[in-house]
């Protein structure tokens, strides 16, 4: 185990970072399965809290409970460009953009405007595409990298982090991973300092598991992961919270190849899943710890500096883990 | 193949003249009915009246005061598909709910009849119940391009965005235009989005194969943009409901016009081979002051209007609905806004208005769309409106 979301079989992650003066941003792509896998849908569930949580592809995800796209996190003004890159990606896979082969794209925009000049859209279509194609299953680099580059959280430099757990349901073992983009919230600092924060801070969690879950259960898993941060992060400052959870089991393969067919899936009784939900919360806290511990100081827009939490501050927040 | 260096709309309005002037070139085209069919007319102008309520002045979404609609259309090239080159049959249609939607938000509600589509920017609608973006309609592959073009417009128009104000997510909805259009080539950029915004105006709305509807196919006829409106009696508030649709849905045999099985009666003029994908986007607006829950209810009645045209909302169809009210304005930085809201006890008539306007808007898209030849000679034929009187008569539907 790498203690990374890439421990979940098939998951690949890619980062692209752009650090140049007022531009401190990046892109992170999470692939639910390798590019070699085709015509596959996975079940997905989502949970959102806060004023607005924008993600594309939600019409299919919410109505059908499925998705087949890489999940791309980018800054808030780059969403259209990233979406267009995923359209290119989809057309490369199959001309007709069917929903079991990368359409519709899932793109989540984050406001990294404290450190990054959002009015300049310097990330390009090709860089997003490359981020997807260079994704791999090595342990995810955490901190001020990818979309984490310009993020601020808990009154300090935020970033991206991830963690994983081995969970047991009955005799079966499954892996579960949580990826977090920490951008907002309070609770980390005691000193009276200038708190770096963006206009619309947001926490985004992506939870992947090998446990075979259905969309309703995945919505609960998403909520459970997010609730795991309660007590550690104070979201009262209007930080948006969005969690997407998906299962790499219970796949739907080749739906277009033969219309009248049945798919074999597994349905755990709710009481079997309580441990899974609890572990998702623990894993979310561990992912946040990774994000905050690995975050490096970044100087960005208008010379603003966001410094990471000190060891003492980190200990205070995470020592009970 | 027919190719003229003027806009298609202009060309089509002059088709009879053109036919007389260039009889030999026209004869070689694959558009035989272009020459002989009468000009396109809206359903009501054909003598077919949907429902009982009166229409607004323009019988269009723009009858809702302050709402503007604009189009940018790209129709270029003919012949075999060459990805990245064409033929191009796409565009963008924009709805400006007011003149300053980012700073003065309006209430909105949405409904998903069938989810196989995309309408971006719904986080604000879902979580806050507010619309903060113009609404853009385009073809599936151009979603990202139009979002990015809309972002360019936002950043240019509002210098506070990305600095001290939230970055909005543009509302962009799609239907699949790949039967006629070089979908993978996309062919839209910032300039087309800005052109559509600059074209936005109140008054009559151009319908059919225009803007986002350029490449669309509906009930296996040429579809596209359609609109209609209804006005409530003064005693019931005198409010207006407008609906604008981008139609790309349905199978031929499903089509009903005023309840008559028109699709079953017209078995020729079929699409032929080529990938089709079905979807419809329905946008409603009213000046009745409503909260999001009420607007969600009106969305569901738009779905009823869709059903009245025969649609069964197939699996592959992205049937997405959004309704906004110009009657509740919420300033972006307002701490508290005093609003008036519509009485639920009177909403049934609004339901009727939404259903009637939707049914008529969808049928207007069919009545107004011209036969369009796209990639690889793929042809979507215009609904032969000259046949409607006989069909209406056969099924006992009144014509005026």
Q: What is the pLDDT of residues B349-373, one digit of tens each?
A: 999 999 999 999 999 999 999 999 9
Residues contacting A167, CB < 8 A, separation 6+: A173, A174, A175, A176, A209, A211, A275, A276, A279
Please provide the distance, in angstroms rounded to a whole number, between the alpha carbons at the two ends of chain B. 39
Q: At residue B116, does pLDDT exceed 80? A: yes
What confidence score (pLDDT) does residue A193 get?
63
The SS3 assignment for B310 reads coil
> Sign (positive/negative) of CA torsion B319, B325, B326, B330?
negative
Q: What is the pLDDT of residue B33?
A: 42
Residue B166 or residue B11, greater confidence: B166
Q: What per-residue confidence (pLDDT) applies to B333? A: 87
The number of domains in chain B is 1
CB–CB contacts below 8 A, A to B: 133
Nearest to B167 among A55, A77, A99 (CB): A77
Distance CA A35, CA B305 (A): 42
Q: Helix (H) and strand (E) counts for chain B?
A: 11, 14
At A96 the pLDDT is 86
Nearest CA to B283 out of B267, B314, B306 is that of B306
User: Residue B92 sits in a domain of what CATH number?
Assistant: 3.60.70.12
Average pLDDT over residues B36-46: 87
- Provide the pLDDT for residue B36: 53
Give yes or no for A130 touching B (CB within 8 A).
no
pLDDT at B126 over 50: yes
- In this predicted structure, the answer to whether residue B269 has a pLDDT above a threshold of 80 is yes
Q: How many Cβ atoms sit within 10 Å of the Cβ of residue A93?
A: 17
> Is residue B30 included in any domain, yes or no?
no
Beta bridge partners, A243, equal A47, A205
Instruction: Kindly report the nearest CA distance between residue B331 and chain A, in angstroms.
Output: 15
pTM: 0.94
Contact assignment for A99 to B151 by CB distance below 8 Å: no
Is residue B160 assigned to a domain? yes
Q: What's the confidence (pLDDT) of residue A114?
A: 96
Give the model's confidence band at B118: pLDDT under 50 very low, under 70 low, under 90 confident, else very high: very high
How many angstroms away from the CA of A246 is the closest CA of chain B? 18
Q: What does the longest C-alpha to C-alpha distance in chain A come to?
A: 64
Structural domain including B347 reads 42-394
Instruction: Sketch out chain A's domains with CATH numbers.
Output: 5-318 (3.60.70.12)
Give the pLDDT band (50/70/90) at residue B204: very high
Picking from A52, A77, A199, the nearest residue to B165 by CB comes out as A199
Shortest CA distance to B294 belongs to which of B330, B338, B348? B348
* Cα–chain center distance at A287: 11
Q: Do B120 and A200 touch (CB under 8 A)?
A: no
Closest listed residue to residue A71, CA positions, set A39, A98, A110, A36: A110
Does B162 sit within 8 Å of A76, measured CB to CB? yes
Stretch B47-74: mean pLDDT = 98
User: What pLDDT is stored for residue A256 in this prediction?
Assistant: 85
| Distances in whole angstroms, Cα of residue B133 to Cα of each of A117, B84, B125, B130, B168 | 21, 30, 10, 9, 7
Residue B306's pLDDT is what?
Answer: 98
Distance separating alpha carbons of residues B148 and A300, to the nearest angstrom: 24
Q: Quote the CA–CA distance of B21 and B209 in Å, as a whole number.
A: 24
Q: Which of these, B150, B302, B266, lies nearest to B212 by C-alpha position? A: B150
The pLDDT tens digits for B294-329 are: 999 999 999 999 999 999 999 999 999 999 999 999
**Cβ separation of A48 and B126 shorter than 8 Å?**
yes
Is residue B15, in this structure, part of any structural domain at all? no
Distance CA B179, CA B222 (A): 11
Residue ranges of chain A with pLDDT lower than 50? Answer: none
Contacts of B148 in chain A (CB under 8 A): 80-81, 84, 121
Out of A24-28, A194-198, B114-118, B256-260, which region has the weakest mean confidence (pLDDT)?
A: A194-198
Extract the tokens encoding A216. 């309703």
Yes or no, beta carbons of B148 and A84 under 8 Å apart: yes
Q: What's the pLDDT score for residue B30?
A: 45
- Chain A nearest-CA residue for B156: A119
Q: Nearest CA of chain B to the CA of A294: how many Å?
A: 26
CA-closest candidate to residue B175, choices B256, B56, B277, B260: B277
Residue of B nearest to A49 (CA): B127
Answer whether residue B17 shows pLDDT above 60: no
Active-site amino acid positions of B? 279, 317, 319
Residue B2, pLDDT > 90, answer no
What does the DSSP assignment read for B171-220?
EEEEE--TTTS-TTT----HHHHHHHHHH-BSS----BSSGGGTT-EETT
Task: Please name the member of A52, A57, A60 whose beta carbon is closest to the beta carbon of B123.
Answer: A52
Instruction: Enumerate residues 6+ apart whose C-beta is below 8 A from B70.
Output: B93, B94, B96, B196, B197, B198, B199, B200, B201, B211
pLDDT category at B8 given cuts 50, 70, 90 is very low
pLDDT of residue A320: 67
β pairing state of A71-75 and A23-31? antiparallel
Residues from chain B that touch A54, judged by Cβ atoms under 8 A, are 120-124, 169
Residue A188, pLDDT score: 61
What is residue A203's three-state secondary structure? strand
Q: Does residue A170 come out as left (phi exceeding 0), alpha (psi in the -120 to 50 range) or beta? A: left
Tell me the β-bridge partners of B89. B75
Residue that has been written with the tokens 């995810």 in this structure: A140
Tell me what pLDDT residue B21 has. Answer: 38
By CA distance, what is B83's nearest residue in A?
A95
Q: Is the residue at B83 inside a domain?
A: yes
**CA A58, CA A65: separation in Å to the nearest integer?**
9
Does A46 touch chain B if contact means CB atoms closer than 8 Å?
no
Residues of chain B above pLDDT 70, percent: 90
Q: Tell whether omega for the bond before B129 is within 30 degrees of 0, i.e. cis.
A: no
pLDDT attached to residue B152: 98
Indicate whether B11 belongs to any domain: no
Q: Is B214 left (phi over 0), alpha (psi -120 to 50) or beta?
A: alpha
């Amino acid at each position: 185990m790498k203690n990374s979301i890439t421990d979940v079989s098939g998951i690949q992650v890619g980062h692209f970072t752009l650090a140049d003066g007022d531009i401190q941003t990046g892109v992170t792509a999470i692939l639910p399965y390798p590019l070699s896998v085709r015509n596959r849908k996975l079940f997905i569930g989502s949970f959102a809290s806060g004023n607005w949580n924008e993600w594309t592809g939600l019409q299919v995800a919410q109505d059908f409970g499925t998705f087949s796209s890489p999940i791309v996190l980018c800054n808030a003004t780059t969403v259209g460009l990233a979406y267009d890159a995923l359209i290119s990606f989809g057309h490369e896979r199959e001309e007709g953009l069917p929903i079991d082969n990368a359409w519709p794209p899932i793109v989540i925009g984050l406001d990294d405007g404290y450190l990054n000049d959002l009015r300049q859209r310097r990330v390009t279509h090709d860089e997003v595409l490359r981020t997807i194609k260079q994704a791999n299953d090595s342990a995810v680099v955490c901190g001020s990298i990818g979309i984490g580059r310009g993020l601020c959280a808990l009154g300090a430099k935020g970033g991206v982090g991830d963690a994983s757990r081995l969970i047991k349901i009955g005799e079966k073992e499954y892996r579960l991973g949580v990826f977090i983009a920490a951008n907002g919230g309070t609770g980390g600092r005691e000193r009276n300092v200038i708190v770096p924060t963006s206009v619309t801070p947001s926490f985004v969690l992506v939870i992947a598991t090998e446990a075979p879950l259905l969309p309703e259960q995945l919505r609960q898993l998403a909520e459970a992961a997010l609730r795991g941060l309660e007590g550690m992060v104070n979201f009262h400052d209007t930080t948006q919270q969005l969690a997407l959870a998906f299962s790499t089991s219970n796949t739907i393969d080749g739906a277009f190849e033969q219309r009248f067919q049945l798919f074999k899936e597994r349905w755990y009784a709710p009481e079997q899943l309580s441990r899974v939900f609890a572990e998702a919360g623990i894993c979310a806290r561990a992912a946040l710890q990774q994000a905050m511990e690995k975050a490096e100081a970044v100087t960005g827009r208008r010379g603003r500096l966001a410094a990471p939490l000190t060891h003492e501050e980190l200990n205070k927040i995470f020592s009970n883990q | 193949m027919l190719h003229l260096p003027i806009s298609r709309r202009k060309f089509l309005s002059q088709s009879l003249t053109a036919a007389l002037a260039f009889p030999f070139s026209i004869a070689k085209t694959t558009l035989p009915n272009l020459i002989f069919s009468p000009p396109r007319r809206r359903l009501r102008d054909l003598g077919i009246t949907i429902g009982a309520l009166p229409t607004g002045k323009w019988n269009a979404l723009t009858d809702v005061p302050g709402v503007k609609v604009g189009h940018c259309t790209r129709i270029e090239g003919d012949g075999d598909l060459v990805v990245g080159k064409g033929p191009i049959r796409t565009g963008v249609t924009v709805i400006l709910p007011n003149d300053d939607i980012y700073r003065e938000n309006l209430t909105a509600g949405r409904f998903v009849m069938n989810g196989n589509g995309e309408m971006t920017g719904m986080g604000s609608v879902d979580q806050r119940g507010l619309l903060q973006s113009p609404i853009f309609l385009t073809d599936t592959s151009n979603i990202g391009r139009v979002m990015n073009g809309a972002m360019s417009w936002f950043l240019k128009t509002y210098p506070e965005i990305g600095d001290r104000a939230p970055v909005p997510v543009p509302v962009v909805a799609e239907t699949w235009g790949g039967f006629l259009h070089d979908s993978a080539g996309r062919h839209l950029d910032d300039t087309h989005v800005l052109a559509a915004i600059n074209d936005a105006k109140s008054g009559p709305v151009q319908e059919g194969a225009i803007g986002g509807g350029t490449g669309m196919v509906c009930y296996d006829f040429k579809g596209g943009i359609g609109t209609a409106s209804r006005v409530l009696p003064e005693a019931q508030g005198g409010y207006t409901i407008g609906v604008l649709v981008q139609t790309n849905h349905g199978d031929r045999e499903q089509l009903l016009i005023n309840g008559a099985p028109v699709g079953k009666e017209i078995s020729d003029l079929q699409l032929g081979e080529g990938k089709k994908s079905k979807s419809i986007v329905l946008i409603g607006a009213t000046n009745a002051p409503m909260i999001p829950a009420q607007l969600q209810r009106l969305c569901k009645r738009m779905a009823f209007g869709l059903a009245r045209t025969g649609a069964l909302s197939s699996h592959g169809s992205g049937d997405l609905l959004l309704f906004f009210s110009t009657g509740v304005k919420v300033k972006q930085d307002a701490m508290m806004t005093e609003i008036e809201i519509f009485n639920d006890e009177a909403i049934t008539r609004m339901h009727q208005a939404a259903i009637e306007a939707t049914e008529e808007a969808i049928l207007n898209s069919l009545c107004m769309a011209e036969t369009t030849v796209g990639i690889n000679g793929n042809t979507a034929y215009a609904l032969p409106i000259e046949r409607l009187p006989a069909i209406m008569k056969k099924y006992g539907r009144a014509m005026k």
